[in-house]
Amino acid sequence: MAELLTSAQMRAIEQAEIESGTVSGLQLMERAGRGAVEAALAHWPELRQGAHRALILCGPGNNGGDGFVIGRRLRDLGWDVDVFLYGDASKLPPDAQANHDLWQTMGSVSPFEPTEIWGRDRPDVFVDAVFGTGLTRPLPQDLAMVLEDRMMGNWPRGSMIRRLAIDCPSGLNLDTGMIPNAQQDEKPRVNSAHLTVSFHALKAGHKLALGPQLCGVVKVVDIGLRGDGPSERAMIGTAPDPERARLVAPDFAHTSLPLRIWPGATVAKLRGQGHKYDYGHVMVLAGGPGRGGAGRMAARAALRAGAGLVTVLCPPEALPENACHLDAVMLRACGDADAFRQILDDRVTALCLGPGLGTGPDTCDLVAAALAHRRGDRGWRDPAVVLDADALTSFQDDPDALFALTHPRTVLTPHEGEFARLFPDLAQSERGDWSKIDVVRAAADRAGCIVLLKGEDTVIAQPGGGASVHSATGDRAVPWLATAGAGDVLAGLIAGLAAPETAPDLFCVTEAAVWLHCEAARQFGPGLIAEDLPDILPKVFLTLAA
């Protein structure tokens, strides 16, 4: 499990450790610089042998201090090292000043000058140690010009210049994953890295927005701060810490799956749970004739996810169409909200509304009926209600009417467009300095339920601040998942995982569903269509470690 810290949280952790007297800032800086070198040599093992050259651009703060340590360490290894300082050496913080002076016993520090930088011999590694965590303003133009990717071409042609960033590529806001701009219409200069070394923990901006694209491979180096492990409230299978976001990982899937569908379940654990109703009953409401495909995909995903039984409810005129496609999934006619109320019983444990349902007052009535349903004598808890697509858009003219109905067992699963219709003041164009984590937390507080905002950087939040991020980037990138119906499958997957009596906290279930959704797409590969996702799930379950 990995926590995603903000810049302020990271500073507070460092300061608390220093104030406790267990470590000094100078020691942390030494560990950071040496750890960055080891991470770089592990990433580029060809650099362990032979003579190499590094150019290190240090900044005016402690990030620059890390750069001076890196210079000393590389010089100790026999490298030729050029060090430049962006800023005034006399104004460096004390620890950075100490390492600046130590480096000067081994080599010179040149003042920042673009033509002077490009006049040096072509480096094997360019180290960006200018600005790390905490930067919220645009880079100065002269610095941005030097760091810009295309400026590497100012050196004569030769072998690849490997780009190493300390904390993050300078200019990236590590809280939001965005590049601050002085002008809204100004295209930001792109400063990216092949390898980014972070210390103690990942930061939110490594996984949000442009962060994954600009940071390249991110390696986290342990510098000996206490709390490197997850806090008790952030442990696997538990509700998230209200202050610190976390990264969705495979271990969440393990702890959030119904016992019978993952390899860690033993016969002893399953004894006495052999009836289909022990694994829950999911109802999926589908649209009229010609609109039932989305509901059917959601239903199939719910059944594959481990629900004991799944029923599709559709208008009477859509029964023949759905009957031609459904076998294991049951089917019933449901003409309106009154009929829906009559059909609901106390063994329904999850409801999924929205995929292909159609928009308008009738859908609003169905949503109201679903959110009003509570457990009866045979139910073990109130049903989970997953609202997607048309169930959300139907409330675009009066989102507060929806939020007056939602409860903690509700999950809203909007994409950016649907999110903007429900939360116009939190839409992408209105976020300002807020991160995606910030806005989804605010949305969850307003809606009084779990909100899942889809994207490459999917963010899940619940009222009170608990949040997690699933990053479908790097080796988990699945561009082929951007296909019609994929979101409908995700909605059904959440409902199916939430349905069994043994299902854990609904937030953890939602995390597991997002991870499984991406993993199914990864294992299928290019050419995926939404209908493939439910049927690849058994293969995904088999690959999970016991």
Provide the pLDDT for residue 19: 94
Q: What share of the chain in percent tops pLDDT 90? A: 79
Same domain assignment for residues 121 and 154: yes
* CB 61, CB 130: distance < 8 Å: no
Same domain, residue pair 533 and 419: yes
From 200, 229, 258, give the residue that closes a domain: 229
Q: What is the pLDDT of residues 298-344, one digit of tens each?
A: 999 999 999 999 999 999 999 999 999 999 999 999 999 999 999 99
End-to-end CA distance of the chain: 17
In a domain, 61, yes or no: yes
Q: Which two tokens stand for residue 129?
A: 């140690």
Same-domain check for residues 224 and 279: no
Residue 467 lies in a domain: yes
Q: Which domain holds residue 132?
A: 2-229
Q: Write down the pLDDT at residue 261.
A: 56
Higher pLDDT, 501 or 197: 197
Residue 240 lies in a domain: no
Indicate whether 307 and 425 sit together in one domain: yes
pTM for the full model? 0.93
356 and 255 in a common domain: yes
- The secondary element (H helix, E strand) that includes residue 37 is helix 25-43
- Same domain? 221 vs 263: no
User: Which pLDDT score is estimated for 266?
Assistant: 45
pLDDT for residue 182:
40
Residue type at position 299: A
Among residues of the chain, what percentage have pLDDT more than 70? 91
pLDDT for res 271: 45
User: What does pLDDT average to over the chain?
Assistant: 91
Name which of 110-114, 185-189, 295-299 the model is least confident about.
185-189
Q: What is the number of other CB atoms lying within 10 angstroms of the CB of residue 434?
A: 15
* Separation in Å, CA 106 to CA 5, 32, 200, 462, 515: 35, 19, 29, 53, 49
> Could you tell me if 457 and 342 lie in one domain?
yes
Q: Mapped to the 3 state alphabet, what secondary structure does 301-357 carry? A: HHHHCCCCEEEEEECHHHHHHHHCCCCCCEEEECCCHHHHHHHCCCCEEEEEECCCC
Residue range 114-119: average pLDDT?
93
Q: Give residue 64's identity as a one-letter amino acid code.
A: G
Cα separation, 466 vs 239, in Å, equals: 7
Report in angstroms the alpha-carbon separations of 349 from 24, 58, 278, 354. 54, 58, 10, 17
**Residues 212, 276 within the same domain:** no
Q: Would the pLDDT of 238 be above 80?
A: no
Rounded CA gap, 382 and 375, in Å?
A: 5
Is there a single domain that holds both residue 397 and residue 531? yes
CATH number at residue 286: 3.40.1190.20
**Same domain, yes or no, for 183 and 277?**
no
**Exposure on the CB side of residue 509, measured as CA atoms within 13 A:** 30
The model's pLDDT over 172-198, given as tens digits with 9 standing for 90+, comes to 999 999 998 744 445 556 789 999 999
- Is pLDDT above 90 for 262? no
Domain count, the chain: 2
* H/E stretch holding 441: helix 436-447
Alpha-helical segments (H) within 453-530: 486-498, 506-524
